[in-house]
Amino acid sequence: MFSDQDLQVMDSIIKRYPRSRSAIMPLLHYVQSKAGYVTSEGIELVAKLLTIETAEVSAVATFYTQYKRKPVGEYHVGVCTNTLCAVMGGDEIFAGLKDHLGIENDGVTADGKVSLEHIECNAACDYAPVVMANWEFYDNQTVQSSKDLVDSMRQGNPPAPTRGPNSLPTWKENSAVLAGINDGRANEGVQAGQPTLLGLKLSKEGK
Amino acid sequence: MTTTQSQATEVVDMITLVIDGFEVSVPKGTLVIRAAEKLGIQIPRFCDHPLLDPVGACRQCLVDIEINGRAFPKPQASCTIPVEPGMIVKTQLTSDVAEKAQRGVMELLLINHPLDCPVCDKGGECPLQNQAMSNGQAESRFEGKKRTFEKPINLSSQVLLDRERCVLCARCTRFSEQIASDPFITLNERGALQQVGIYEEQPFESYFSGNTIQICPVGALTSATYRFRARPFDLVSTPSACEHCASGCDMRTDVRRGKTLRRLAGDDPTINEEWNCDKGRWAFKYITALDRLSQPMVRNADGELVVTSWPEAIAAAAAGLSGAKAAVLVGGRATYEDAYGYSKFARVALGTNDIDFRARPTSDEERDFLAAHVVGSSATYKDIDKADHVLLVGFEPEEESPIVFLRLNKQVKKRALKVTSIGTKLSIGVEKLGATFVKVAPGSEAAAIASQSLTAQSIILVGERASESAGALSAVAALASQSGAKFAWIPRRAGERGALEAGAIGNLLPGGRPVTDAAARVDLASAWSVESVPTHLGRSTKEIISAVNSGELSALVVGGVDPLDLDSSAETMSALKKAFVVSLEIAPSAVTERADVVLPVAAVTEKSGSFLNWTGSARAFDSAVADSLNRSDVRILSMIADALGKTISLGTVSAAAREIASLGLWDGARASFTATPARSAAPLAADEALITSWRRLLDLGTLQKGEENLAGTARQTIAVISPKRATSIGVITGDRISISNAQGSVVLPVLVEDIHDDAVWAPRNSRGSELLSKLGNAHGGVVKVVKA
Amino acid sequence: MTKLVPILSAHWDEKDSFTIEAYTRNGGYKASAKALSMDPDAVIQLVKDSGLRGRGGAGFPTGMKWGFIPQGDNKDHYLVVNADESEPGTCKDTPLMMANPHVLIEGCIIASHAIRAKYAFIYIRGEVTHVVRRLNQAIEDAYKAGHLGKGIELVLHVGAGAYICGEETALLDSLEGFRGQPRLRPPFPAIAGLYARPTVVNNVESIASVPAIITNGAEWYQKYGTEKSKGMTLYSLSGHVVNPGQFEAPLGITLREILEIAGGVRSGHKLKFWTPGGSSTPLFTDAHLDIALDYEGVAAAGSMLGTKALQIFDETTCVVRAVLRWTEFYKHESCGKCTPCREGTWWLVQILRDLENGSGTEEDLAKLLDLCDNIMGRSFCALGDGATSPITSSIKYFRDEYIAHVTGKGCPFDPVASTIFSTTGAR
């Protein structure tokens, strides 16, 4: 699964830090970028690279919710159901998607395209209700818009995120970004959405 | 005395505080929870353990604290707060807030606890149960759904985990990480689903895993050995000493109706603290094995061993020994008192110095080293605590003296103690110590020792395997004398140091009296009320075997020796056939099979006695099993001596102990020591290597017989070669190689690792790798290594 | 005259605001150049004088925190930026870093210089990929431009989903490669933080505020805000309002003023309850509209300024449902280390679920409050305390609504009515 080139990348990740063990989290993101989730092979490789025990790696891997123990979809959809988004419609969106996709929380569609998870507050409350796909923002969603979103994912042509790159990267591609690999797409997309700019705009209007 | 001086110079700052209205003074740095203990105030706790770093996780020990009139706004975990001057502490006894906080935490700890005390092994000795009674409330207000897990799960073949009972105090995981450096169990998941676990492919195979069960404050961790066997209140506990190695652990043996059901680590802060190793904890079934010898036997005219009466057996032994040229072989597992019995028996009853406790490969260099430098010496664990540098020579602490390993590891973690190991292969234990590893070819240790620089604050820990490398012990003596460093000889077996002090060796009489010193002999003879003691230098184990085979000796008294432990097992077998053999044993063995008289003896739990650990200090123990009919070796030897008309007057263990004490240490000159030169290595052919090995803690050792669960946690049996050799013979890790010489061969899976190019390593006595019996050599011998 | 003072947000409306070109064009990296020419202690003093306080929630004076780092100790020092923004309702650092990552980088350079750190880390939560991209690129560009790499290294560290890593010691353990569980204090990070070395952990907004203070001086900053709460800050308005968004204003502004600027609560509805600074800060009601939103004002009214996450809920919202959901969040995010938080949140959720679905009793309310008393101040870190805030404050203000759930054997609210999209055909 992991090529010599991967090992070189992983070595460069370790070298970012004064102490190698600090690299465990980006390495696990990198494992997900190759394998889609944290595989046994990945855990054993990370343990070997960091010269720590496998138990220590799995202790870390199981603590953080972004590390997946089984494959997720090519597009992993997270619906914020923390209080504010839930009240504003997140609960309806999540229920609607479960029904529409025929899967439960943490489920994956049979075609492997879409997986679904209810998530906690994703720091975009002024864009509520928020849906994340592969950890890109889809702001101000409705039940219908989120259904359309997953339909387009299953057809292979999801729209661009509201605030993100010009097209939606795959789960694995974005996992590499979280491992600190620059995909050259930082300049894509808006600098900010309207709510972010609202105060500035109003102050310029003298309000 | 130096110790008194150093104690006097250690000034301890004392801090005075008030707890529940009582003033108490404790050393600076003491935690509030322990200051309270000093007053007899028990604050309930789960995660707190005096030998683990404070964590403050369970929150059971909350108390109210104010310092100089300023009160903490909320109750504090007394297990994490050091005392301060002017501190006023109010525990649950005097503070309603503390009392409610503790009751609240206890209630929370119990909401997800299964409350299955009636079927739980911990019931009756459970801190959760006890403290729920003392500091909890009778009724729970919890009406919801409890967390459930599949139960129990195996963390190893020996350790089981019931996650529902776990209170997540993390004592077990912290022990594994902080004390044993074996983080194979960790906390996994998080929140209410947090749970102790292993990585699925890596079981909890730590030599120290049993300690986690002992310190578990609930019944979450149990052992396959003890699970569902007994109720604590049905057990009779006796303090005991571990017979498995020379570390010197304090132990507790729990017996129900004459049967040992479990053994626990005792608490000796100077030695094992509160820990022990899994062998010490779980290897005890040999005592109650079905094939234990219980009645004396004598070989009849048809060559068959037949059960007989004690008087007949003693008479037969005396008859065979009377007038014979006899020698004594006593294994390293005898107690101090029994070893003394063999020593005196050889001199007085048999009139010989032909006695050797060293049932292993040895050398004359070692014999002389022991007499000149080890007998009567007193390096201690405290010397490790204070050392600036520890040098390990021919010694794998984790495998050969696990508590020495734990002490080294403690100092490495606490103050980055510098450790250097001179060896042939980097071991897991030495790696965990972060030691500087000085890699040598087998047999070339002496030069590496000579190149070390130490100070007067350093200590050299030299293992029994140093005897297998010519010149190594001489180099240790020279290095110590040049640098002023201390050194300690750490044998593997529990009885060796005692046997040395008892004079169960050819060049020493009891108390370190040199055989060659006439004054020492006279001193002993008068103490023993005999005319004289033999004057000749006694034979070593190997020489005794040869002398039997050559006809110079005609009889052997053998106590607790396994011929397979010797590097001359074939010769030993033939000697046992040839000589008149009196065997004192607990179970049938290669010796009893060939003996003429077999006399069953008591196992350690069935008798009193003591073991001297590697520091030379004794741990005495009483019989854990009341009313055992089995007799100690010394009692039986005394009976034979009486029958021979050469009485040794050691009818009881306590008589032997009294006599040892009254004899005391020889205060005359030590035996002299002449350095042995190192041997230069002969050139090797391309497919040749030098064998090197050590015994793993868990292996085919006699005392581990029948312990399948324990054996399941043993390290893999593999051979190790260097990458260069692997390339040259065309193997990779996982392939099998054959290691052979003229005597035999072993075939093992290979691990390609950092080891001297001239060496091949294999475990000395593991299944499929019984080097001494198969190759007749386990260190330094030339073997052929090829792909199998 | 507007009450808003866009300083951090001043250039967010430029399309390329996140690039090094835009940042430099607007005067970026001059403050760091200035600071680097100053004595580190003078930088610390300047920040102390400005009155800047931590924007992550606790409000600890930033300059004082820097001053705690032992000097001349021949040890490595570290700066760690807490960009793990995860407190429910909090959404200021994420847009800041997306729109202007360079101001944070410049702040890191200045802070590292002040505390004599050669290594700085930004610990960002892992669920915001595009912000990670922007920061990563910005760091690369800052290296290329020579702002980084000459005595100060900056590493972006991406988390993986754990609210608790916003707690500074849990963050440090996480950054060291362990499970993100809080550490025992003392030792405090200033003495033994990352890798057991002296470490400053600061919130994104705190560090991003530093360049403007260096450029404009302490006195300029002092002009804004209130007596003990100086400067301007980002208030994040969300929920049942006409216009949610970020509002940069001097400390001490009131919710009434912000609502006026933003256009108020959504039409036809009225304010029911709100959080001043995220879900861990006790709830306020319409009685608190005129509380000065500074550290002292909010504390005096029984809550905390926190992250200034103003989550607005109108009368369509069931407070029991809202509190239950937050409690479920704390249960999900409890790290598991200590008993009160781990077991307590497990239990709280069950009682609240019963109450919300109508199977609770009035006695459950007393039990809830007593449980909160057994968790608050008894748990290892503030997460457990935070979990009790919504419960105790909501019972304080809306006890009758809880009782209505009991007597009516169910929730009296229509959840669809609280959604922002059409109340008809929402499903």
Question: Quick check: A62 and B201 CB within 8 A?
Answer: no
Q: What is the dihedral of CA A45, A47, A51, A54, to 10 degrees?
A: -140
Chain B: partners with 3+ C-beta pairs within 8 Å? A, C
pLDDT at position B478 is 97
User: How far is CA B526 from each of CA A141, B406, B519, B532, rounded to the nearest angstrom?
Assistant: 103, 44, 11, 8
CB atoms within 10 A of CB B590: 17
Decide the pairing of beta strands C245-250 and B759-761. Answer: unpaired
DSSP letter for each residue of A19-56: SGGGGHHHHHHHHHHHHSS--HHHHHHHHHHHT--HHH
Walk along chain C (427 residues) in steps of 10 and give the mean pLDDT of each run: 91 98 98 98 98 95 97 95 98 98 98 98 98 98 97 98 98 98 96 98 98 98 97 98 97 97 94 97 98 98 98 97 98 98 98 97 97 98 97 98 97 94 46
Do residues B292 and B630 lie in contact, with contact meaning Cβ atoms separated by under 8 Å? no
pLDDT at position B287 is 85
pLDDT(B281) > 70:
yes
Residue C427 CA to residue B295 CA, distance in Å, equals 87
Residues B409-428 pLDDT 10s: 999 999 999 999 999 999 99
Do residues B330 and B560 lie in contact, with contact meaning Cβ atoms separated by under 8 Å? yes
pLDDT(B7) > 70:
no
Specify whether B712 is located in the same domain as B746: yes
CATH number at residue B464: 3.40.228.10
Place of tokens 């906390």: B187
CATH number at residue A21: 1.10.10
Let me know if residue A37 belongs to a domain: yes
Question: Looking at the complex, does the CB of residue A141 fall below 8 Å from at least one CB of chain C?
Answer: no
Residue B500 CA to residue B614 CA, distance in Å, equals 11
Residues B714-741 have a mean pLDDT of 97
Let me know if residue B407 belongs to a domain: yes
Do residues B739 and B784 lie in contact, with contact meaning Cβ atoms separated by under 8 Å? yes
Question: Quick check: C350 and B144 CB within 8 A?
Answer: yes
Residues of chain C with CATH 3.40.50.11540: 20-220
Do residues B478 and B318 lie in contact, with contact meaning Cβ atoms separated by under 8 Å? no
Let me know if residue B3 belongs to a domain: no
Backbone angles phi, psi at A128, to 5 degrees: -65, 150
pLDDT at position B698 is 98
Specify whether B538 is located in the same domain as B644: yes
Count of domains for chain B = 5
Mean pLDDT of all residues in chain B? 95
CATH number at residue A163: 3.40.30.10
Q: Which residues of B touch C (CB under 8 A)?
A: 54-60, 62, 73-75, 80, 100-101, 104-105, 107-109, 111-112, 141-142, 144-145, 147, 167-168, 187, 189-194
Nearest alpha carbon to residue B129 among B61, B44, B67: B44
Do residues B324 and B580 lie in contact, with contact meaning Cβ atoms separated by under 8 Å? yes
Decide the pairing of beta strands B555-559 and B326-330. Answer: parallel
Specify whether A133 is located in the same domain as A90: yes
pLDDT at position C422 is 53
Specify whether A80 is located in the same domain as A166: yes
Residues of chain C with CATH 3.10.20.600: 232-314
Give the pLDDT band (50/70/90) at residue B258: confident
Specify whether B503 is located in the same domain as B650: yes
Give the pLDDT band (50/70/90) at residue B138: confident
Residue B135 CA to residue B99 CA, distance in Å, equals 8
Specify whether B483 is located in the same domain as B506: no
Select from B286, B309, B338 the last residue of a domain. B286
Specify whether A91 is located in the same domain as A132: yes
* Cα atoms in the Cβ-side hemisphere of radius 13 Å centred on B743: 18
Let me know if residue B323 belongs to a domain: yes
Q: Which helix (H) or strand (E) holds B609?
A: strand B609-612
Taking the CA atoms of A175, A179, A184 and A186 in sequence, report the sign of the dihedral they define: positive
Residues B456-477 have a mean pLDDT of 97
Specify whether A124 is located in the same domain as A49: no
Alpha helices in B136-177 (DSSP H): 171-174
Peptide bond preceding B73: is omega within 30 degrees of 0, i.e. cis? no
Specify whether B552 is located in the same domain as B418: no
Was domain C232-314 assigned CATH 3.10.20.600?
Answer: yes
Give the pLDDT band (50/70/90) at residue B288: confident
Do residues B646 and B349 lie in contact, with contact meaning Cβ atoms separated by under 8 Å? yes
Nearest alpha carbon to residue C174 among C163, C185, C190: C163
Nearest alpha carbon to residue C342 among B77, B57, A119: B57
Specify whether A47 is located in the same domain as A14: yes
Specify whether A79 is located in the same domain as A166: yes
Residue B216 CA to residue C215 CA, distance in Å, equals 58
Let me know if residue B413 belongs to a domain: yes
| Rg from Cα positions in chain B | 28
Residue B18 CA to residue B508 CA, distance in Å, equals 58
Residues B67-115 pLDDT 10s: 999 999 999 999 999 999 999 999 999 999 999 999 999 999 999 999 9
pLDDT at position C423 is 47
Residue B314 CA to residue C110 CA, distance in Å, equals 91
Mutate to test the interface with C, among A25, A94, A117, A181 (most CBs of C within 10 A): A25
Residues B11-31 pLDDT 10s: 789 999 999 999 999 999 999
Mutate to test the interface with B, among A21, A43, A51, A58 (most CBs of B within 10 A): A58
CB-CB neighbors (< 8 A) of B168 in chain C: 336-337, 339, 342
pLDDT at position B291 is 87
Question: Quick check: A58 and B199 CB within 8 A?
Answer: yes
Q: What is the dihedral of CA B249, B255, B260, B263, to 10 degrees?
A: -30
Do residues C389 and C282 lie in contact, with contact meaning Cβ atoms separated by under 8 Å? yes
Let me know if residue A184 belongs to a domain: no
pTM: 0.96
Give the pLDDT band (50/70/90) at residue B6: very low
Count of domains for chain A = 2
pLDDT at position B3 is 39
Nearest alpha carbon to residue C112 among C145, C153, C173: C153
Mean pLDDT of all residues in chain A? 97
pLDDT at position B11 is 77
Specify whether B609 is located in the same domain as B541: yes
Do residues C111 and C210 lie in contact, with contact meaning Cβ atoms separated by under 8 Å? yes
Question: Looking at the complex, does the CB of residue A70 fall below 8 Å from at least one CB of chain B?
Answer: no
Residues B494-520 pLDDT 10s: 999 999 999 999 999 999 999 999 999
Question: Quick check: B57 and C380 CB within 8 A?
Answer: yes
Enclosing domain of residue A84:
75-170
Residues B658-678 have a mean pLDDT of 94
pLDDT at position B477 is 97
Specify whether B49 is located in the same domain as B72: yes
CATH architecture, range C319-411: Up-down Bundle (1.20)
Residues A110-124 have a mean pLDDT of 97
Enclosing domain of residue B708:
686-785
Residues B224-239 have a mean pLDDT of 94
Name the residue type at position B43. I
Residue C280 CA to residue C307 CA, distance in Å, equals 10
- Exposed (0-12), middle (13-18) or buried (19+): which is B301, by Cβ within 10 Å? exposed
Select the more confidently predicted residue: B772 or A207: B772
Mutate to test the interface with A, among B186, B198, B733, B754 (most CBs of A within 10 A): B186
Do residues C221 and C50 lie in contact, with contact meaning Cβ atoms separated by under 8 Å? yes
Specify whether B450 is located in the same domain as B344: no
Select from B456, B490, B524 the last residue of a domain. B490
pLDDT at position A93 is 98
Residues A41-90 pLDDT 10s: 999 999 999 999 999 999 999 999 999 999 999 999 999 999 999 999 99
Q: Which of B56, B73, B194 sits opposite C184 (nearest CB)?
A: B56
Question: Looking at the complex, does the CB of residue A1 fall below 8 Å from at least one CB of chain B?
Answer: no
Peptide bond preceding A129: is omega within 30 degrees of 0, i.e. cis? yes
Measured CA angle at A75 (ends A71, A76), to 5 deg: 65
pLDDT(B1) > 60:
no
DSSP B666: -
Q: What's the topology of domain C20-220? A: Rossmann fold (3.40.50)
Select from B490, B519, B540 the last residue of a domain. B490
Specify whether A130 is located in the same domain as A161: yes
Residues A138-177 pLDDT 10s: 999 999 999 999 999 999 999 999 999 999 999 999 999 9
Residues of chain C with CATH 1.20.1440.230: 319-411
Q: Can you read off the two tokens belonging to residue C370?
A: 């007593």
Residues A99-122 have a mean pLDDT of 97
